[in-house]
Structure 1
Amino acid sequence: MADQLVGAGTGGRLRPRRDDAAPGTGTQLNPRRRQALALLLVGPFLSLFDQFCVNLAAPSINQSFRLSPFEFQAVVGGYGLVYGLGLITGGRLGDLYGRRRTYRAGIALFAVTSLACALAWSPGSLIVARLAQGAAAAILQPQVLALIRVQFPPTEGQKALSWFAVSMSLGMVCGQILGGALPAWDLLGLGWRPVFLVAVPLCALVFLALPATMEADRPAHAGRGADVTGAVLSALAVAFVLLPLAAVREWPFLPLGLAVCLAGCLLAAVFVRQQRSRSRRGGLALLPLGLFAVPVFVRGVLLNFLLYMASVPFAIVLALYLQDEAGMSSARAGLVFVPAALAIAVGSRIALPSRGRFGEGVLVASAALIALGLAGALAAVTLGGDGAALVLLLVALAVYGVGNGMIVPLLTGAVMSRVPPQDAGAGSGVLSTTQQLAAAMGIAVVGIFLYPRSAGAPLHYSAAMGVEVALAALAVLACAHLVAATRGRRAGAPGKP
């Protein structure tokens, strides 16, 4: 009866099927949710676009501003750092004030900060604009996964997540291609600045069109108040841990950097205690600590951390290698990443059918493809710049792309399915935070191995990439442990998910 339309007692009007009810609400789903999804996916597209566009635009930016190594890491990694710091808070803002409203506010702010990046007149102004742009992305991004969680039934939610993965792959490839091509074209003599202007009309379109496809949602925790103290403590804790790694070439790590890292760890402990205290008093905590009592959620978040710590810095180092060592133009270097993005789109579409046919082991196979692809790219870099090495690199990036495209919807779906609908924003924030902090930490760690000790010496590309390959191999082991633990739990508790 749950799968039938019932007319009795409704005056001849048909009640919606249970399959058409919003998860955890029992209310009818938005009939225009597919059109709304297209607008929502602009968020992850732009988030990845503006994370990757600076990889290939960086040489052109450097010609304008002559960036120091620290300024370079701030322009490239500062966006991801602030993005990661604000994602949990951004997710909770959606729970408090409504996810559609918060998404539109984030889109509007993203447009303003993208314009500020394009108008930057100095390294300092560009860094500030990039940090603000990361904050805007932190507001809009968690709302996407949260809205997918609550607006789509399970049969459609997995497909929506696969499109989520496609939007990220398109953001990555467009960021790489246009980040290289636009500065080379030098439109109207603006150099690299149109790279950031691309986002402005897209944001305007989403801001104006979204209300016509989605009604304002009722806040899940309306009137409970934001956890400002928790937001400040969490941001300071992560910043204190990562800053010494990002500035390792400017600071003596011992003793100053180590002291700052330890201060960050202490602040993290204070943050956890404050969250527990706030929850006991009945307040809405920034971080729902109960999520970390769910083993699949915890292991999935850690696996996400390893994968992003390996993948994002690898792409940045490879982009630098293609231009500085292989002598490619920025536009040609961007095209090298096209096979990866196309393969990500393919992988995201075959992920669910593959899992249905072969089981949860597909998750391990996806992680193994990522590690294999990165190892192949490292081998191509080691071989040098001949034609065979380029072919190997393109094939390796395609292998990586298939694995990445498969693992994103599978792992994201597994993690988000354990999050209660009323905490979907915070859960999405936790997941996205680990991804972005992993990217920022990976960039900082790679910088330690990439830059030589003596000025003027060549960069150590192979050593930096080797670290990322090792992290990807560790992610395969973590993925195998996650799948084994999930199977063991199911075997011990028949009938439970």
Structure 2
Amino acid sequence: MTELVDRQPVARFGGHERADGGHSPAPPPPNPRRWWALLLLLVGPFLSLFDQFCVNLAAPSVNQSFRMTPFEFQAVVGGYGLVYGLGLITGGRLGDLFGRRRMYRAGIAVFALTTLACALAWSPGSLIAARLAQGAAAALLQPQVLALIRTQFPPAEQPRALSWFAVSMSLGMVLGQILGGALPAWDVFGLGWRPVFLVAVPLCLAVFLLLPATLGADRPALAGKGADVTGAVLSAVSVALVLLPLAAVRQWPFLPTGLALCAAGCVLAAVFVRNQRARVRRGRPALLPVDLFSVPVFVHGVLLNFLLYMASVPFAVVLALYLQDEAGLSSAQAGLTFTPAAVAIAVGSRLAVPLRTRLGERVLVLAAALIALGLAAAPAAAALDSDGASMAVLLTGMAVYGLGNGMIVPLLTGAVMSRVPPKDAGAGAGVLATTQQLAAALGIAVVGIVLYPASDARPLRYTPAMVSEVVIAALAVVLAGRLVAVLRRHGTG
């Protein structure tokens, strides 16, 4: 993998010659069972996204069971993502401090217990508590996967491993939509919405039991450094102050209360960054490797990742609502509309590396353009009079979107993570995942402002809401072009 651009060089996986002419000990040979381990590791990112998105279409069925208040409904739908976003940086750093395999197994165990608690919930309060705890478990396990790919696989194998990581993440999001609508409609064993959560429990149990046989315990990268409790608190509170008003934009008087909270969160985030820089200068353990933000490729890659999630996640939510409210589809039919995207994501992830070899870094622009084009098909389909033609355009668009998504995720993730030193891989993965959650929350807030009319008596504005997400995706295409220029200037990795 490439050196850390604009900072000190790092040793490559397969050799032991250093840039200063000295020699460092050769790294141990790669784990012969690493691909089996990857199969088990990818269950984590799949489930973390699956359980975030399955509720979008399962929530009406849940609401029928408990007859929740608007606040309770919002907490069930959004509480998971809120806690998940709050804990990602801390979860990643815990892996750096105490061992990534250990933290992944701990996260998968807690995820199984909290998912079972969701399925067995007897009241809105019990379901909300379980969802919040489930989000915390996902924040613990998710960053460990990218960190382990960064440290366990030789550079030549990392693109292939990252392509499978892209498949797991994207399929988690898409299959969450599909099964979140289908399982409650099928009413398996008369359990209604509960199988939406139950499906994760055996997967988690299998991963917890089988992982030690395929992946040895890793030596903590920052063993004995101690935890940065102050940084963890500042990070969580600043993210919370930004996410809360965004998540509750329709329930709270957003102006001026919401803006004041967002501003306070931004100020506290600046305090957090200053605190982290001071800790690094004093040689004390820091939660966030702030020096990464002086690396141009890392910064541009994180920003592009932000725009892509800001466009894609809210779009999936709005489209699911549109298909049921305006198009008259059942929740199961609405979920199945995302099937072409799921298939195309798998195809795109396998094409990413060969296309990069042939086209160079320009493939990032191509992939981003496919995402924007695929999203644009939805408002175009909504404008058609013929139901058959409308559905054909929509399904084609979902396939185009999935192809671009499958292509860009492994390449973009690889470009970002290649600039993260192995000792900081967990924290770097946490930063990447946190920006995704912030982007999703901001995107949903923006699309909510466009979607909901000033008067409750007027219909929801689905087409303008979808167009707003297409505009954000178009901005991502422009930023992808900028990232390509940065990669050419600083090295592609």
State the distance in 2 between where 1:24 and 1:481 align.
38
- Residue 121 of structure 1, CA deviation: 2.8
CA separation in 2, counterparts of 1:172 and 1:267? 31
Aligned Cα root-mean-square deviation (Å): 2.0
Deviates more, 1:53-62 or 1:396-405: 53-62
Task: Name the residue aligned to 1:247.
Answer: 248
Once residues 480 and 149 of structure 1 are traced to their aligned partners in structure 2, the CA distance between those partners, rounded to angstroms, is 25
**Residue number in structure 2 paired with 1:379:** 380
Counterparts in 2 of 1:33-432, with a 5 A limit? 33-383=34-384, 386-432=387-433
Alignment of 1:449 onto 2:425: no
Q: Which residue of 2 aligns with 1:13?
A: none
Amino acid at match of 2:269: A
Q: Which amino acid in 1 is paired with 2:85? A: G
Residues in 2 aligned to 1:163 and 1:337: alpha-carbon distance in whole angstroms? 19
Q: Is the 8 A contact 1:169 1:344 kept in 2?
A: yes
Work out whether residues 24 and 421 of structure 1, in 8 Å CA contact, stay in contact via their aligned partners in 2.
no
Matched, 1:31 2:49: no
* Conservation of the 8 A alpha-carbon contact between 2:14 and 2:154: no
Alpha-carbon distance in structure 2 between the residues aligned to 1:255 and 1:336: 39
Distance across 1 between alignment mates of 2:15 and 2:123: 54
* Structure 1 residues 352 and 278: CA distance shift in structure 2, 3 A: same
What's the offset of the Cα at 1:122? 3.0
Shift in CA distance, 69/378, structure 1 to aligned 2, threshold 3 Å: farther
TM-score, normalised relative to structure 2? 0.92
Q: Which amino acid aligns with 1:165?
A: A
- Per-residue CA deviation, residues 61-120 of structure 1 (Å, 9 max, x unaligned), is 222234455544433333222212111111101001100000000000101111121122
The 1:133–1:207 alpha-carbon spacing in structure 2 relative to 1, beyond 3 Å, is same
- Opposite residue 349 of structure 1, the aligned amino acid is R
Deviates more, 1:58-67 or 1:222-231: 58-67
Q: CA deviation at 1:270?
A: 1.3
* Whole-angstrom distance in 1 between the partners of 2:257 and 2:433: 30
**Distance change >3 Å, CA 382–CA 72, structure 1 → 2:** farther
- Preserved CA contact (<8 Å) 1:383 1:389: yes
Q: Matches of 1:49 and 1:197 in 2, distance apart?
A: 12
Q: Are 1:475 and 2:476 an aligned pair? A: yes
CA contact (8 A) 1:115 1:197 kept: yes
What CA distance in whole angstroms lies between the structure 1 residues aligned with 2:389 and 2:184? 29
1:303-353 deviation digits (Å, cap 9, x = unpaired): 000000100110011111111221111111111101001101100000000
Local SS of the residue matching 2:234: helix
- Deviations along 1:361-403, one digit per CA (max 9) or x if unpaired, are 1100100000010011121123367110000000001000000
The structural deviation recorded for 1:456 is 4.8
- Structure 2 residue identity aligned to 1:393: L
Shift of 1:427: 0.7
Write the distance in 2 (CA, Å) between the matches of 1:96 and 1:401: 36
Distance 2:220 2:80 in 1: 28
Instruction: State the Cα distance separating 1:135 from its structure 2 match.
Output: 1.0
1:461 aligned partner: 462
Structure 1 contact 77–440 (Cα < 8 Å) conserved: no
AA of the residue aligned to 2:396 = V
Shift of 1:262: 1.9
Q: Distance in 2 between matches of 1:52 and 1:404?
A: 17
Task: Give the drift of 1:279.
Answer: 1.3
| Alignment gaps of 5+ in structure 2 | 1-12, 17-23
* C-alpha spacing 1:98/1:121, structure 2 compared with 1 (3 Å): same
Q: Is the 8 A contact 2:15 2:26 kept in 1?
A: no
Indicate the SS of the match to 2:250.
coil
Q: Which amino acid aligns with 1:389?
A: S
Shift of 1:489: 3.7
Q: Pick which of 166-175 and 301-310 moved more.
A: 166-175
Instruction: Measure the CA separation in 1 of the matches of 2:204 and 2:145.
Output: 15
Cα gap change, 1:25/1:305 in structure 2, threshold over 3 Å: closer, same or farther? farther
Percent of pairs with identical residues: 76
For residues 110 and 148 of structure 1, what CA distance do their matches in structure 2 show?
Answer: 21
CA distance in 1, matches of 2:394, 2:371: 13
Letter in 1 for 2:346: A
1:446-465 CA distance string (max 9 Å, x none): 22222233335322211221
Q: Deviations over 1:19-70 (max 9, x none)?
A: 89xx996112111111101000101110121122112112212222344555
Tell me: CA distance 1:260–1:173, structure 2 relative to 1, closer, same or farther (3 Å): closer
Match of 2:9 in 1: none
Change (3 A) 1:275 1:24: farther
- 2:433 partner SS: helix
Residues 108, 204 of structure 1: 8 Å contact kept: yes
Deviations 1:174-205 (A, max 9, x none): 21222111101112322101101111110000
Look up the equivalent residue of 2:460 and give its one-letter code: L
Task: Measure the CA separation in 2 of the matches of 1:352 and 1:106.
Answer: 31
* Contact 1:279-1:285 within 8 A present in 2 as well: yes
What SS class does the counterpart of residue 157 from structure 2 fall into?
A: helix
Change (3 A) 1:25 1:129: farther
Decide which moves more: 322-331 or 120-129. Answer: 120-129
* Residues in 2 aligned to 1:208 and 1:419: alpha-carbon distance in whole angstroms: 30
User: Structure 1 residues 170, 254: CA separation in 2 closer, same or farther (over 3 Å shift)?
Assistant: closer
Tell whether the 8 Å contact from 1:326 to 1:385 is kept in structure 2 after alignment: no
Alpha carbons 1:60, 1:191 under 8 Å: kept: yes
Q: Structure 1 residues 273 and 384, CA, compared in 2 at 3 Å: closer, same or farther?
A: farther
Secondary structure at 1:359 match in 2: helix
| Per-residue Cα deviation, 1:237-261 (whole angstroms, up to 9, x for no partner) | 1111222222232222233222212
Name the TM-score, length of structure 1 as normaliser.
0.92
Higher mean alpha-carbon deviation, 386-395 vs 182-191, is at: 182-191
Q: How many residues end up aligned between the 2 structures? A: 475
Distance 1:385-1:83 versus aligned 2 partners, 3 A rule? farther
Stretch deviating more after TM superposition (373-382 or 285-294): 373-382
